[in-house]
Structure 1
Amino acid sequence: MADVVLITGASEGIGRATAFTFARGGYRLALAARTAETLKQTAIDLEQSLNAEVLAVPTDVTQPEQVQNLVERTLERYGRIDCLINNAGICMSGPFLQTTLEHWQALMAVNFWGYLHTIRAVLPDMLKRKKGQIINVGSIGGKMPLPQMSAYCASKYAVSGLTEALRLELQPQGIQVIGVHPGIVSSNFLKRAIFEVGPASSPDSQAQTSGGKAREQMQQALESFWVSQPEEVAEAIWDAARQSKSEVVVGMAQWAVGAYTLFPGWVGSLLQNVPR
């Protein structure tokens, strides 16, 4: 019987590409995303183009009861979950004092607590079977600091720490925990990103200008030559799962992370001089 993969943030971008990649590999799919319409369309596309078996459950991963419902419905449909891919996430850019606590809380709710909720929900079944994979899609921002992105980096460093600690704890029990870290990915990233900045240190008009500038800078970054495509990240996730890799940094991001690991002071100085 084919293996079962549960993917969050599955309706667009990396999540959608990953769903197609695993469907081509013969997996049965359980897909989750907040927007029911796009999730339904992804399921239809998978069924029509690949004859995939798909369970689509609209889910807000910040709500543990919705996550529990997602996992219960998946187990009812398929009997098990072989692989969990935590992918749902949002981005935020802005100076530290011009971001609000509400922004930080919203970011952590999705990027960190969303992962924690799904892991806690799927883990009992995996432990019972002494088998399973948990793949956390992190970010280059969880391996090195990025200017004007303190909240995002904090959430992704938290994911990296969770991934590495769980790997040590769960590997003796037959469960693999894998981290996959993309750099900038060309997708609908801007639609979910937060660029609004609060009034902590500037008037509203200045804050709006700052937010607009940050969005423009992000758009320029998405058009640069070293940006990865969602399909590239999906292939990295597939490869990590099939080869049981502990960690993968995707595409050109591996060079940036490698340079920061070897020369943190030099790379830090370069990052400090990035135009704002």
Structure 2
Amino acid sequence: MQVLTDLMSHLWMMGRQNRRAPSAVIPALFPTQTPFLTQLGAARPDYSIHGKTALITGASRGIGRAIALALADHGARCLVLVARDGQRLAQVATEVEQRGAKVVLLPLDLTQPVAVNVAIAQAWQQHGPIHLLVNCAGVAHQAPFLQTSLHQVQAELDTNLLGLYTITRLVARRMVVRREGCIINVSSLMGKVAAPTMATYSATKFAILGFTQALRGELAPHRVRVVALLPSLTETDMVRGLSRFRGVQSTPPDRVAAALLRGLGQGQTEILVGWQSQWAVLAQRWMPNLVERLVRWASPKLSAPRPPRPAAIHPQEG
């Protein structure tokens, strides 16, 4: 812990000495820069959602809802809201309309590719092109991996990865034709620092980061931006059902939405939310063994996995 404290103090002092020249500090500390630090010394292109159309998955609650409201507040013309819970989606639609934006509701299960394909084609034809795609839908099951059922694993993979792949492919193909668009993939701090009891969820969030990085390189020549949003523990319905991690502060969803808009305006490619996320990623880079011990300490202590039953052995016949 003393090593981490000394490092933080050193960085703080260097920041005070170079308040007006962050680009001079960053290369000295990080010869190969992480994306979020690179942006501190880079040019910051402006991004505006004003008058544009955005599609948001997982929009019925939590981060998705907060992003929808924030986009409406910043002048979005039309918001296409996607979620399985049609009733909750309608409630969010009312809030968005009160902010002056047009709303299109798509009660969809993203794990059903045919239905998603039809819905996206109709929405694009009837309401015009989608300028911003926010992939926010996701599920999480918390349990020691050896106590996790394959059904739970498949559910997380289907929603967090395959659903994201499906809708991204359908929207990105159209963006490429128009040579305009922006795709936001919501990963997580657990896509950088994995956590015990969340093995499958962490795996999907690591995969989303890899997918985002690869897709960014593919779509950049077509003027389509691809950005990863990495919130830490956020105050959502999904998180309230999980055992808490010691020492980890939760973030309100509206703060995550504000960080997204700020990061887009700054041209960031990976948007980390909150100081805990910034320091966790920094420490993971330089002191991974220490971070692993801290994460193990902070993780909830769930019941130990039961040993598997020995397989029955039957004598061969004949």
* Structure-1-length-normalised TM-score: 0.85
Aligned twin of 1:260: 284
Q: Which residue of 2 aligns with 1:233?
A: 256
Is 2:220 the partner of 1:174? no
Of structures 1 and 2, the larger Rg is shown by 2
Distance in 2, Cα, partners of 1:240 & 1:190: 24
Secondary structure of the corresponding residue to residue 257 of structure 1: helix
Alignment root-mean-square deviation, CA: 1.7
Query: Residue 129 of structure 1 is aligned with which of 153, 178, 197?
Result: 178
What is the CA deviation profile of residues 38-71 of structure 1, one whole-angstrom value per residue up to 9, with x for unaligned ones? Answer: 0011111211x21211101101111112221331
Q: Summarize the alignment of residues 204-219 of structure 1 with structure 2, pairs less than 5 Å apart.
A: 215=242, 217-218=243-244
Question: Is contact 2:61–2:88 with CA below 8 Å preserved after alignment?
Answer: yes
Shift of residue 237, structure 1, vs aligned partner: 1.7
Matches within 5 A, 1:95-244: 95-190=144-239, 215=242, 217-218=243-244, 226-244=249-267
Deviation at 1:102, TM superposition (A): 1.1
Distance in 2 (CA, whole Å) between partners of 1:245 and 1:176 is 10
CA distance in 2, matches of 1:228, 1:26: 24
Distance 2:113 2:265 in 1: 29
Corresponding residue for residue 37 of structure 1: 87
Point out where structure 2 has 5 or more consecutive residues left out of the alignment.
1-49, 302-318
Asked whether the 8 Å contact 1:133–1:241 carries over to 2, the reply is no
For the residues of structure 2 that align with 1:136 and 1:87, how far apart are their CA atoms?
7
Q: Distance in 2 between the 1:269 and 1:14 partners? A: 29
The Cα offsets for residues 100-144 of structure 1, whole Å up to 9 and x where unpaired, read as: 111111001111111101111101210101111010011011111
Count how many residue pairs are aligned between Structure 1 and Structure 2.
249
The runs of at least 4 consecutive aligned structure 1 residues that moved more than 4 Å come to none
**3-state SS of paired residue (1:183):** coil
How far apart, CA to CA, are the structure 2 residues paired with 1:241 and 1:182? 15
Query: Structure 1 CA distance, aligned partners of 2:269 and 2:291?
Result: 25
CA–CA separation in structure 2 for the residues paired with 1:32 and 1:86: 10
- How many angstroms apart in 1 are the aligned matches of 2:128 and 2:144? 47
